[in-house]
Amino acid sequence: MFRLSNNLLGILNFITFLLSIPILWAGIWLRNKGASDCEKFLDTPVIVLGVFLLVVSLAGLIGACCGVSWLLWMYLVVMFLLIVVLFCFTIIAFVVTNKGAGKVLSDKGYKEYKLGDYSNWLQKRVTSEKNWRKIKSCLIDSKICSDFQQRYLNDSLTVLYTRHLSALQAGCCKPPDGCGFTYQIPTTWVKTATNATSDPDCNSWDNQPKVLCFNCNSCKAGLLDNLKSDWKKVAVINIIFLVFLIIVYSIGCCAFRNNRSENAYFAGWKHP
pLDDT in tens, 112-171: 888 888 888 888 888 888 888 888 888 888 889 999 999 999 899 999 989 988 889 999
26's enclosing H/E stretch is: helix 4-33
Q: What is the Cα–Cα distance from 164 to 109, expressed in whole angstroms?
A: 5
- pLDDT, tens digit (0-9, with 9 covering 90-100), for 180-203: 888 999 999 988 765 556 788 888
Q: What is the Cα–Cα distance from 112 to 211, expressed in whole angstroms?
A: 20
pLDDT value at position 94? 77
Looking at residue 98, the DSSP 8-state letter turns out to be S
In 3D space, the residue among 27, 21, 53 whose CA is nearest the CA of residue 40 turns out to be 27
Binned at pLDDT 50, 70 and 90, residue 33 comes out as: low
Per the model's pLDDT, the better-predicted residue between 34 and 109 turns out to be: 109
Are the C-beta atoms of 214 and 172 separated by less than 8 Å?
yes
Computed over every residue of the chain, the mean pLDDT equals 80
3-state DSSP assignment of residue 181: coil
What percentage of the chain's residues is helix, strand, coil (to nearest 5)? 70, 5, 25
Looking at residue 178, the DSSP 8-state letter turns out to be G
pLDDT value at position 57? 84
Burial of 17 (0-12, 13-18, 19+ CB in 10 A): middle
> 72-86, 99-113, 209-223: lowest mean pLDDT where?
99-113
Report the pLDDT averaged over residues 46-60: 82
Domain extent listing, the chain: 1-99+230-269, 103-224
Binned at pLDDT 50, 70 and 90, residue 213 comes out as: very high
* Dihedrals phi, psi of 180, to nearest 5 degrees: 70, 30
Per the model's pLDDT, the better-predicted residue between 216 and 98 turns out to be: 216
Q: What is the Cα–Cα distance from 149 to 225, expressed in whole angstroms?
A: 21
47's enclosing H/E stretch is: helix 37-65
Neighbours of 181 (CB within 10 A): 20
pLDDT value at position 64? 76
Report the pLDDT averaged over residues 244-265: 72
Strand 103-104 to 182-185 pairing: unpaired
